[in-house]
Amino acid sequence: MLNLVLFGPPGAGKGTQSERIIEHYGLIHLSTGDIFRSNIGDKTELGKLAKSYIDKGQLVPDEVTIDMVKSEVEKHSTPKGFIFDGFPRTQVQAKALDEYMKKKNTSISAMIALDVPEEELKERLQQRAKDSGRTDDADPKVIEQRIEVYRKETAPVKSFYQEQSKFHEVDGMGSIESITDRLFSTIEKIK
Ligand code: AMP
């Protein structure tokens, strides 16, 4: 199996690039943000809980997020692999994912990080707010908070994969196509 973690701050292009990777490699896209948003749309209990954190730019608690990811993985019987988008976002989530993959006799193949400067991120998020209607993209204070949470809680997850020699960084600037090309050549080296 090819199990990739696509990493990067909000607005780095994880969602856009995931779509291209799954199409090319036949992987299953597992975006925790998308699953939370679909639960919010369906007004489920999980959705109500997630919304109270998402609206403030905070992370949904680890236990809730980890259980949700596990039950999504279980929905697929013989996958070629997964692309985890927006997960893991904390050290606790990263450890839980490793343990869970081990139980399933597989592992995370690599983490690939999209590197984008902060100023560019803010511009992209403001643009996305107009196109997607995501409320957490529309409020500059919530954007600041999400970037702050990323710096404090999520960025350290990088070292978890560096220690396992599984960390790869790709320049996330330039055209969507050029970024996809860089990602594909990195994935070819991992496979
Ligand atoms: P995203 O679409 O990945 O930007 O996620 C949107 C929001 O969902 C985040 O700002 C968090 O509030 C929540 N979220 C998504 N993934 C996670 C995660 N792995 N752990 C905790 N909260 C998450």
**What's the CATH number where 89 sits?**
3.40.50.300
Could you tell me if residue 112 is inside a domain?
yes
Supply the pLDDT for residue 156.
Answer: 95
**CB under 8 Å to 15, separation ≥6 — which residues?**
31, 33, 34, 85
Could you tell me if residue 18 is inside a domain?
yes
Supply the pLDDT for residue 122.
Answer: 86
Supply the pLDDT for residue 16.
Answer: 95
DSSP string, 57-120: TPPPPHHHHHHHHHHHHHT-SS-S-EEEES---SHHHHHHHHHHHHHTT----EEEEEE--HHH
Q: Is a pLDDT exceeding 90 seen at residue 155?
A: yes
Atom of ligand 1 lying closest to residue 36 CA: 8
Could you tell me if residue 57 is inside a domain?
yes
Q: Is a pLDDT exceeding 90 seen at residue 117?
A: yes
Task: Tell me how far the alpha carbon of residue 86 lies from the centroid of ligand 1, in angstroms.
Answer: 6
Nearest CA to ligand 1 atom 12: 54
Bridge partners (DSSP) of residue 170 are 114
Per-residue pLDDT band at 185 (split at 50, 70, 90): very high
Could you tell me if residue 109 is inside a domain?
yes
Supply the pLDDT for residue 26.
Answer: 96
Number of domains in the chain: 1
Q: Is a pLDDT exceeding 90 seen at residue 133?
A: no
Entry pTM: 0.95
Task: Tell me how far the alpha carbon of residue 20 lies from the centroid of ligand 1, in angstroms.
Answer: 21
Could you tell me if residue 48 is inside a domain?
yes
Stretch (H or E) spanning 48: helix 45-54
Could you tell me if residue 191 is inside a domain?
no
Supply the pLDDT for residue 50.
Answer: 98
**CB under 8 Å to 158, separation ≥6 — which residues?**
7, 111, 113, 167
Evaluate: CB of 8 within 6 angstroms of ligand 1: no
Residue numbers of the domain that contains 7: 2-186
Supply the pLDDT for residue 126.
Answer: 87
Supply the pLDDT for residue 120.
Answer: 94
Task: Tell me how far the alpha carbon of residue 131 lies from the centroid of ligand 1, in angstroms.
Answer: 19
Average pLDDT over residues 65-84: 95
Task: Tell me how far the alpha carbon of residue 137 lies from the centroid of ligand 1, in angstroms.
Answer: 12
Evaluate: CB of 10 within 6 angstroms of ligand 1: yes
Backbone angles phi, psi at 168, to 5 degrees: -135, 140
32 and 65 Cβ atoms separated by less than 8 Å: yes
Could you tell me if residue 73 is inside a domain?
yes
Average pLDDT, the chain: 96
Backbone angles phi, psi at 13, to 5 degrees: 105, 20
User: In whole angstroms, how far apart are CA 81 and each of 8, 32, 99, 107, 110?
Assistant: 20, 16, 16, 10, 12
Could you tell me if residue 55 is inside a domain?
yes
Per-residue pLDDT band at 132 (split at 50, 70, 90): confident
